[in-house]
Amino acid sequence: MDRVTPEPAPLEEGAWHQIDLPLRWGDMDALNHLNNTIYFRLMEEARVCILRQANMKLPDDEGPILAHASCDFIKPLNYPATVRVTHRLLRLGRSSMELELTLEMVGDDSGPYARGRNVLVWMDYVANCSKAWPAHVLARLGAQFNPPGNKTARCR
């Protein structure tokens, strides 16, 4: 009997990805809370994990760039803690995607500690211009995200 490999789920608006990342003592600032630059590092680490899980080889002649990154700091994080970073796809365009990020402390259900937004653009690095997302890249990325209706956390 032949085994049929299921097609990866399409990458659709509302799809989400979560990963838990530990804070390090050296991430703290003089006020004994997480340094504001580390919030961006946590977002970066989570984003790079998605790309690595999708077997994207970087650098290459083309690939994603971070065109926008923002963060709203809601309440301070303190060491020791594990931070859950959630990416949620807000919009998928021809050559860009907009992602909402939340940073929550694992074990604390009081709400996010920070919210952010990233815009990724698929680039031709040689020609230095954006181009359409390749279908195989979207399929690989889609396999890393949970479908929008799935409320069961699947941390990577």
The predicted-structure confidence for 67-92, as pLDDT tens digits, reads as follows 999 999 999 999 999 999 999 999 99
Q: What is the pLDDT at residue 57?
A: 80
How is the chain split into domains, by residue range? Answer: 16-142
- The tens digit of pLDDT for each residue in 7-56 reads 555 789 999 999 999 999 999 999 889 999 999 999 999 999 999 999 98
16-142, superfamily in CATH?
Hotdog Thioesterase (3.10.129.10)
CB 65 within 8 A of CB 154: no
Judging by DSSP bridges, how do beta strands 82-92 and 16-22 pair with one another? antiparallel
